[in-house]
A and B are shown apart, each in its own frame.
Chain A
Amino acid sequence: MAETTYAPPADIDALRSRALIAGAAGLVACGIGFIVDRDHFFRSWLIAYLLFLGIALGSMGLLMIQHLSGGAWGVFRRIFEASSRTLPLLAILFLPIVLGMGTLYSWTHPEHVQADEVLQHKAVYLNTGFFLLRAFIYFAGWILIAWTMTRWSRRQDEGDMSVNLRLQYLSGGGIVFYAFAATFAGIDWVMSINPHWFSTLFGFIFIGGHGLAALSFTIVISAFLVRRAPMEQILKPGHFHDLGKLSLAFVMLWAYFNFSQYMLVYAANLVEEVPYFVARISHGWQFLAIFLVLFQFAVPFLLLLSRDLKRMPHRLVWVSLALLLVRYIDLFMLVSPEFASTGANLHMLEGEHASGFFVHWLDLAAPLAVGGLWLWMFLTQLAQRPLVAFADPYLREALQSSGGH
């Protein structure tokens, strides 16, 4: 078995070109949207972008946790690595958000800040220059971590065992950087859409979402790979069992963070915090709220309790695909109620405003564009290296045991 090259299956290429076609079609649609309905384009792009950024960052987080914890789930390392190498593409796909800052964030307009004392106090942090500098720091850090991890992982493949310990040190520091950067990115890119609102749990909600999205995506890709050589020899029901259990944990974590935030706001009943939830439990948004409680918590929680389901990739994959869809709807719920159905940020409109539930056709086009391009990039990266990190010191254990448990 040590002699095999673990070369990726050939039909990854077919999937790759399909992803690229889907991405191109989505881009054309988004281009039309940019011309005819610019406000909605920026909002939809931000939501779709956050989903795929979450998969990439969550995968990088799981990769670093894997290096730190060791153990038998190293069989998924290449998927995490390929996912984290999509970050340069994601840095490029961030540019429309920079272009759309004026639409997305009310604090970018000086005349708006002048009329609002709270925003004047927040201007030290919420100003265009510092926002861009922070975004640059996040991406520079994330890309540097992903790039270094890949470089050392290649050295490990070549037999240089001195990188093993260094990978662990980098992972330790990298996780701290990732958690801080992702927290601030959540504040900058999502929370500041409503610049008066704040929640200390928001960063955790953001990062927990990354973990859930990354795990779901890893299960989907693994379920695809397990039906083909070489992974059909390597991935065992126990490995899917492990990912399924982690998914269950992240589903509970999502519920825990979101409920904690809700309960604290409910208990404190403060005028700065309550509007966020009022906007989401009225004017039609309440149905989406109930949907999320049911389908991002109750139903997947009960399904993932089943041992048999977690051990059957062809069933587990449907739960994971559904979870990815629900992640998108959850991000939609984080962003959209802060916008009017015209696409304008509610906090930029004069007077009191409430938004009624709406969906725009760009909410389908944007995930197609970002998702297609991202998946193409991911598969390109996945196809470049052997599918198994054969030099990983824990790999023997990972292959022998049928899972980490």
Chain B
Amino acid sequence: MAHDAPAVTLHGLMAEFDTPTALVHAAERARLEGYREMDAYSPIPVEELSEALGLRRTRLPRLVFAGGILGGLAGYGLEYWSQAIAYPLNIGGRPYHSWPHFIPVTFETTVLGAALAAFIGMWALNRLPQPYHPVFNVPAFARASVDRFFLCIEATDPKFDRHATWKFLESLHPVGVAEVAP
């Protein structure tokens, strides 16, 4: 073994599992071991995973809330401007600022603003689109969208050590462990 020749830098080490339970268990163990910079890949949503990985809460809900408020204000503003300022029409003797009539549009634009914020925010926070990602350098990773579950401990983790981390991943009884080229 070439211990003191880190000729190739790595993105990280990746272990492959065949059940979601094994993946959650592995993520929990890795967190207990002190690893923080890691990510998991699964073909199906695994609910316990984000907790096992210790993922921070995202800013997405706040973005969606802000998007909803902006959308609502814009919708009401549009109604108010068009009905009361730009083109006031007398409809059945009602006041120009007939707010009950503005609410359906306000509701729709609130939903639109929130949905757009959720959609765009999700892409932005996940840094998508991402044409290249190192994990695809591992051939076995093709099954990540079919029936295999992966845990990748990244080289940026302060505790990362090529040999110790490899040994640790092996101890989790994976189907296999692979080096992930950057």
Contacts from A to B (Cβ < 8 Å): 259, 262-263, 266-267, 269, 305, 307, 401-402, 405
A307 touches B61 (CB 8 A): yes
Closest 7 CB pairs of A and B: A263-B100, A266-B100, A269-B92, A259-B103, A262-B100, A263-B103, A267-B101
- Tell me the complex Cα distance, A262–B98, Å: 13
- B47 contacts chain A at the CB level, 8 A cutoff: yes
The interface on chain B, measured as residues whose beta carbon lies within 8 A of the other chain's beta carbons, has a size of: 10
Q: How far is the CB of A199 from chain B (nearest CB, A)?
A: 15
Q: How far is the CB of A330 from chain B (nearest CB, A)?
A: 19
Q: How far is the CB of B155 from chain A (nearest CB, A)?
A: 33
- Tell me the complex Cα distance, A262–B101, Å: 10
Residues of chain B within 8 A of A263, CB atoms compared: 100-101, 103-104
- Tell me the complex Cα distance, A307–B60, Å: 13
Residues of chain A within 8 A of B103, CB atoms compared: 259, 263
Residues of chain B within 8 A of A405, CB atoms compared: 47
Q: How far is the CB of B89 from chain A (nearest CB, A)?
A: 14
Q: How far is the CB of B137 from chain A (nearest CB, A)?
A: 34
- Tell me the complex Cα distance, A269–B101, Å: 13
- B65 contacts chain A at the CB level, 8 A cutoff: yes
Closest to B93 in A: A269
- Tell me the complex Cα distance, A262–B65, Å: 27
A267 touches B61 (CB 8 A): no
- Tell me the complex Cα distance, A401–B20, Å: 14
Residues of chain A within 8 A of B92, CB atoms compared: 269
Residues of chain A within 8 A of B98, CB atoms compared: 266
Residues of chain A within 8 A of B61, CB atoms compared: 307
Residues of chain B within 8 A of A402, CB atoms compared: 47
**In the complex with contacts A305-B65, A307-B61, A267-B47 CB distance below 8 A:** no
Q: Mark B93-105, 1 if CB is under 8 A from A, else 0.
A: 0100010110110
| Chain A to chain B contacts (Cβ below 8 Å), 15 pairs | A259-B100, A259-B103, A262-B100, A263-B100, A263-B101, A263-B103, A266-B98, A266-B101, A267-B100, A269-B92, A269-B94, A307-B61, A401-B47, A402-B47, A405-B47
Q: Mark B76-97, 1 if CB is under 8 A from A, else 0.
A: 0000000000000000101000
Q: How far is the CB of B19 from chain A (nearest CB, A)?
A: 15
Residues of chain B within 8 A of A266, CB atoms compared: 98, 100-101
Interface of chain A, helix or strand or loop or mixed? helix
Closest to A256 in B: B107
Residues of chain A within 8 A of B94, CB atoms compared: 269
Q: How far is the CB of A377 from chain B (nearest CB, A)?
A: 38
- Tell me the complex Cα distance, A266–B94, Å: 10
Q: How far is the CB of A146 from chain B (nearest CB, A)?
A: 34
Q: Mark B33-46, 1 if CB is under 8 A from A, else 0.
A: 00000000000000
Residues of chain B within 8 A of A259, CB atoms compared: 100, 103
Closest to A264 in B: B100
Closest to A266 in B: B100
- Tell me the complex Cα distance, A264–B104, Å: 12
- Tell me the complex Cα distance, A262–B47, Å: 42
Q: Mark B50-71, 1 if CB is under 8 A from A, else 0.
A: 0000000000010001000000
Q: How far is the CB of A237 from chain B (nearest CB, A)?
A: 11
- Tell me the complex Cα distance, A405–B103, Å: 29
Residues of chain B within 8 A of A269, CB atoms compared: 92, 94
- Tell me the complex Cα distance, A405–B45, Å: 13
- Add 6 more A-B contacts to A259-B100, A263-B103, A307-B61 (CB < 8 A): A262-B100, A266-B101, A267-B101, A269-B94, A401-B47, A402-B47
Residues of chain A within 8 A of B65, CB atoms compared: 305
Q: How far is the CB of A84 from chain B (nearest CB, A)?
A: 31
- Tell me the complex Cα distance, A267–B92, Å: 9
- Tell me the complex Cα distance, A267–B47, Å: 47
- Tell me the complex Cα distance, A267–B98, Å: 10
Closest to A265 in B: B100
- Tell me the complex Cα distance, A401–B45, Å: 13
Residues of chain A within 8 A of B100, CB atoms compared: 259, 262-263, 266-267
Q: How far is the CB of A394 from chain B (nearest CB, A)?
A: 17
Residues of chain B within 8 A of A267, CB atoms compared: 100-101
Closest to A305 in B: B65
- Tell me the complex Cα distance, A292–B144, Å: 51
Q: How far is the CB of A276 from chain B (nearest CB, A)?
A: 15
Residues of chain B within 8 A of A305, CB atoms compared: 65
Closest to A401 in B: B47
- Tell me the complex Cα distance, A266–B102, Å: 12
Closest to A238 in B: B47
Closest to B92 in A: A269
- Tell me the complex Cα distance, A305–B61, Å: 9
Q: How far is the CB of B65 from chain A (nearest CB, A)?
A: 7
- Tell me the complex Cα distance, A266–B61, Å: 35
- Tell me the complex Cα distance, A307–B104, Å: 27
Q: How far is the CB of A215 from chain B (nearest CB, A)?
A: 22
Q: How far is the CB of B25 from chain A (nearest CB, A)?
A: 15
- Tell me the complex Cα distance, A305–B66, Å: 13
- Tell me the complex Cα distance, A401–B47, Å: 9
- Tell me the complex Cα distance, A273–B59, Å: 46
Closest to B48 in A: A402
- Tell me the complex Cα distance, A97–B101, Å: 39
Residues of chain B within 8 A of A401, CB atoms compared: 47
